[in-house]
Structure 1
Amino acid sequence: MIGRKQELALLEKLYSSPSFQFLIMYGRRRVGKTTILQKFAQSHDCIFFPAQEKNDVLNLEDFSQTVQEHYTGDYLAPFPNWEKALAFIEKQSRNDKRTVLIIDEFPFLASQNPSIKSIFQHAIDHSWQNKNIFLILCGSSVSFMINEVMGYKSPLYGRITAHLEVKPFDYLESAEFFPNYSQEEKLLAYGILGGIPRYLKAFNPYQDITGNIAEHILSENAYLHDEPQLLLRMELREPGIYNSILEAIANGANRISTISDRIHEDRSKCTKYLQVLQNIRLVKKIIPCGQPKTSKKGIYVIADHYYRFWYRYTFSQKNYYFLLGEEKAAQEIMDGISDYMGPVFEEICTEYLWRRAKAHTLPFIPAVIGKWWGTNPLLKQQDDIDILALDKTETEGIFCECKYRNRPMPMEEYDDLVQATAAFPKVTKKHLIFFSKGGYTQPVIERAQREGAQLMSISNLF
């Protein structure tokens, strides 16, 4: 199993506790929640119930069968109600043996029976909290799990002992899916597919990137071909408007005003729909690094790399690629992939800095890391910094420039970053880091040596 050591370690820690434990696990679809739970269940005696989109009666029947067969090896008849089912589990629990109940896709149960949360709350309050029980409720509807299960208005509020959001892999974990790829190919695969395990598995690790795009994305029979559309239909009622917003963002519209103008919808309506896309982890709002969260300078980006790729190419160019043919279309995409990979490369370098920060190998512990844009008083015009990291006092900073180009980075890029640091006069101790796919010109190398700047290549990321 690739990655997920921290997630499994948390499950083991809660399992080893002598007291009642109640974990809420959530994360967007395809991120690998069920795989983690199945891996955990392989080494423990668990009641594992995957809820389905059925009515309450049928789900109760399935749950009854799962529970009875777990304890007795036989299924007699469904419990008359959920209260009796949970009471049966409580009676079977033992002080000398951990009882583990895992319910996957809990929102499917709650949508058909809104009282199910109160039923669990009653069981916990009146008996389970004093038993050797480990309860796990898991769900892909992130907003439901956060607001309806963990929220203060939920009957379960205050009973939960731990929660875990399963997030996509970063670039380094994703690279493990492609052991035979070059480092550049590993970054490309991550830039196209993102960190969703199910998407990473869809590519053939023995096939080149161009061939994978043609066969596993552009082919109408491929799993990835319509995956974003299918997921949107599962999650949302009006996929048409969401499609328009995602296509607009993928093609460069990143502010409410430009998104609204691009899709010809009211700004307030766009704001509402964007909030939903943020709730399901498909879109994120970025604020200039160091600015308060209430800043009005925020921009929107597609959080999932595959959705960013799909809406930029497959969705926007569908008819054209159909006429062009899969292989030629894939080659055309690859011919211009550097432009697409520019912002992705910045995010990869940001993930690298986070890893170094956690390992305490940066010059200081950053309070914030992210992209910055704003007015540079030295230039008296708008400026930006690809990655900025500031310490807690904002007197020490790391300033980064990221270039995903085949040619060596020239001195002009070095000068641009030095000038950009002038926007932070409070920062008296400045560290410069450059990331360049194509290397550096000799003058840049010599200057970096004199001034103590770090020159990073793709190999340094691994």
Structure 2
Amino acid sequence: MFGRGREWQGLASFVSATAMSGATLGIVSGRRRQGKGFLLQALAEETDGMYFAATEATEAESLRLFADALVRHTREVPERPFRDWNDAIAELFRRFRGRPTLVVVDEFPFLSRVTPSLPSIIQRELGPGGSGRDSSARLILCGSAMAVMGGLLAGQAPLRGRAGLELVVQPFGYRDAARFWGLTDPRLAVLVHSIVGGTPAYRFEFTQGDAPAGPADFDSWVVRTVLNPQKPLFREARYLLAEESDIRDPALYHSVLAAIASGNTTNGGIASYIGRRSDQITHPLNVLEDCALVAREPDVFRQGRSRYRIVEPLITFYEGVMRRRWPELEAYRGETVWGSVRETFLAQIVGPHFEALCRDYAMGAGEEVFGGFPATVGAGTVNDPENRTQIEIDVAVFSPPDGGRAGRLLSLGEAKWGETMSHHHVGRLARARDLLAAKGYDTRDTILACYSGSGFTTELLASAAGDPGIRLIGLDDIYAPGAFG
């Protein structure tokens, strides 16, 4: 077990809880390949619980498979076959009495898709008069279809208010991902994370344990793994989109994702890129959000404005690098293709990804870094009317709100992956700070932060050494402490 201590503890506490009488419900979700099934199977084995993985099947076949799993675990044969899920859920709760017992139903969306009433049936049996009242079952419903799993407890959904556990298994953070891949060079770690992110399955199952041996091996690694038609990673991004049942027009969704991967991150920019009106892409963007493939991030300085970001790096890499050269890649010309798109990768993919990593770093920073506890971290745009321009802020850090007032602006930051940063960047941040102060932001102690993947000029290093209002943050800072133990 790597990097899942918090999730394991939460699951174990849910299973062993004795304060609640009757059956209890837990919901576990997360994008595919994050290790949800591994976690739950391991927990079932450790606690002598029952684990059932649903498959795409008719209701009748799913009932038979579930009944077989129940018989194998309890070694009790039901008096008669289950007629429907009403019988199955009632019998499930009746079978488990006494000590708390884990019951996992994995890939639950496969079941609810063919039996839409299944959540209502579970709700009824958990309620007053249901078979769950005298049961000790700790029922966990698990699934990767994020739109379906998120809807189980939302709004007027039958199971809203019934769950004692709601766990979303996230990809590894960038530091844990570096350790998991065995990477000791922070620059290499950023490059690898820009492609495979923190998805655990890509480390071994999808690459057969092939990791870059060092910075000099990165290009070769990309060609022999991600751009290799014989490797599962090659088609994985396509499958991630195809597996979402709510996506019914793949061509449109791929175009939306390609627009974002190309740097068109606003609603209007995306619409213009794909040749549609803005109102015509609202629905696909909402679906991609519900599927946890895209995140909408508000502009922290301009109310009502937001940008979209692809959550899964592998999809960004596919849309920005692979999709437009797909025929050549299928013909095993990965090395040639990579040689011609590598600079595009560094500029359009690694650059924005590095900015996101810097925001992650800032969100986890201690009070000593910015002179206060980071409560909100985001990006935004500051208008400069006098110069008729806009200043892009990559990392804006706010303290917690104080009563009815907004939090202090702890830091304004700019992130550059392939550019040595100088006083020019600090001057731009200082100009943004002055403009924001004029708008009423509390900038009295705002730190101007430069985040760089390529270092800083000698002059800037000398200035920052004697100025507590300037902070220079390099790769070693972003990946410390504890990244490479």
Structure 2 length-normalised TM: 0.87
Most deviating of 315-324 and 271-280: 315-324
Secondary structure of the structure 2 residue equivalent to 1:225: helix
Most deviating of 138-147 and 122-131: 122-131
Matched, 1:35 2:46: no
Amino acid at match of 1:122: R
Name the structure 2 match of 1:401.
414
Provide closer, same or farther for how the CA distance between residues 330 and 414 of structure 1 changes in structure 2, counting only shifts above 3 A: same
Map 1:8-407 to 2 at 5 A: 8-18=8-18, 19=20, 20-72=23-75, 78-95=81-98, 97-125=99-127, 126-147=130-151, 149-201=152-204, 202-203=206-207, 204-207=210-213, 208-235=217-244, 236-292=247-303, 295=304, 297-319=305-327, 321=329, 325-339=333-347, 340-357=349-366, 362-376=370-384, 379-391=387-399, 392=401, 393-405=406-418
Q: Deviation per CA, 1:317-337: give whole Å up to 9, x if none.
A: 224556782123233343454
Amino acid at match of 2:16: S
Most deviating of 168-177 and 378-387: 378-387
Provide closer, same or farther for how the CA distance between residues 318 and 399 of structure 1 changes in structure 2, counting only shifts above 3 A: same
Q: Deviation per CA, 1:201-256: give whole Å up to 9, x if none.
A: 33412553212211222222221222222232221221011111111221122222
Provide closer, same or farther for how the CA distance between residues 34 and 346 of structure 1 changes in structure 2, counting only shifts above 3 A: same
Provide closer, same or farther for how the CA distance between residues 74 and 329 of structure 1 changes in structure 2, counting only shifts above 3 A: farther
Amino acid at match of 1:79: F
The Cα of 1:86 is off from its aligned counterpart by: 2.9
Name the structure 2 match of 1:414.
426
The Cα of 1:377 is off from its aligned counterpart by: 5.5
Name the structure 2 match of 1:435.
451
Secondary structure of the structure 2 residue equivalent to 1:365: coil
Of 435, 444, 450, the match for 1:423? 435
Most deviating of 315-324 and 222-231: 315-324
Q: Deviation per CA, 1:308-357: give whole Å up to 9, x if none.
A: 11100100222455678212323334345431311111111111112225
The Cα of 1:432 is off from its aligned counterpart by: 2.4
Secondary structure of the structure 2 residue equivalent to 1:226: helix
Amino acid at match of 1:142: M
Alpha-carbon distance between aligned partners in 1 of 2:10 and 2:211, rounded to the nearest angstrom: 31
Alpha-carbon distance between aligned partners in 1 of 2:133 and 2:211, rounded to the nearest angstrom: 47
- Contact 2:100-2:136 within 8 A present in 1 as well: yes
Amino acid at match of 1:84: D
Alpha-carbon distance between aligned partners in 1 of 2:408 and 2:83, rounded to the nearest angstrom: 65
- Contact 1:150-1:156 within 8 A present in 2 as well: yes
Amino acid at match of 1:274: L
The Cα of 1:278 is off from its aligned counterpart by: 1.1
Alpha-carbon distance between aligned partners in 1 of 2:331 and 2:431, rounded to the nearest angstrom: 47
Most deviating of 118-127 and 198-207: 198-207
Most deviating of 153-162 and 371-380: 371-380
- Contact 2:300-2:379 within 8 A present in 1 as well: yes
Secondary structure of the structure 1 residue equivalent to 2:431: helix
Q: Deviation per CA, 1:127-168: give whole Å up to 9, x if none.
A: 314432211011112111222x21232222222222122222
Amino acid at match of 1:386: D
- Contact 2:29-2:146 within 8 A present in 1 as well: yes
Structure 1 length-normalised TM: 0.91
- Contact 2:396-2:411 within 8 A present in 1 as well: yes
What are the ranges of 5 or more consecutive residues in structure 2 without an aligned counterpart?
A: 480-485
Provide closer, same or farther for how the CA distance between residues 321 and 53 of structure 1 changes in structure 2, counting only shifts above 3 A: closer
Alpha-carbon distance between aligned partners in 1 of 2:453 and 2:37, rounded to the nearest angstrom: 37
Alpha-carbon distance between aligned partners in 2 of 1:31 and 1:46, rounded to the nearest angstrom: 21
Alpha-carbon distance between aligned partners in 2 of 1:398 and 1:105, rounded to the nearest angstrom: 43
Provide closer, same or farther for how the CA distance between residues 209 and 39 of structure 1 changes in structure 2, counting only shifts above 3 A: farther
- Contact 1:435-1:455 within 8 A present in 2 as well: yes
The Cα of 1:114 is off from its aligned counterpart by: 1.7
Most deviating of 427-436 and 80-89: 80-89
Provide closer, same or farther for how the CA distance between residues 433 and 261 of structure 1 changes in structure 2, counting only shifts above 3 A: closer
Amino acid at match of 1:298: S
Secondary structure of the structure 2 residue equivalent to 1:273: helix
- Contact 2:294-2:310 within 8 A present in 1 as well: yes
Of 463, 470, 476, the match for 1:459? 476
- Contact 1:24-1:163 within 8 A present in 2 as well: yes
Secondary structure of the structure 2 residue equivalent to 1:192: helix
Name the count of aligned residue pairs: 455
Alpha-carbon distance between aligned partners in 1 of 2:71 and 2:331, rounded to the nearest angstrom: 56
CA RMSD of aligned residues (A): 2.3
- Contact 1:65-1:75 within 8 A present in 2 as well: no
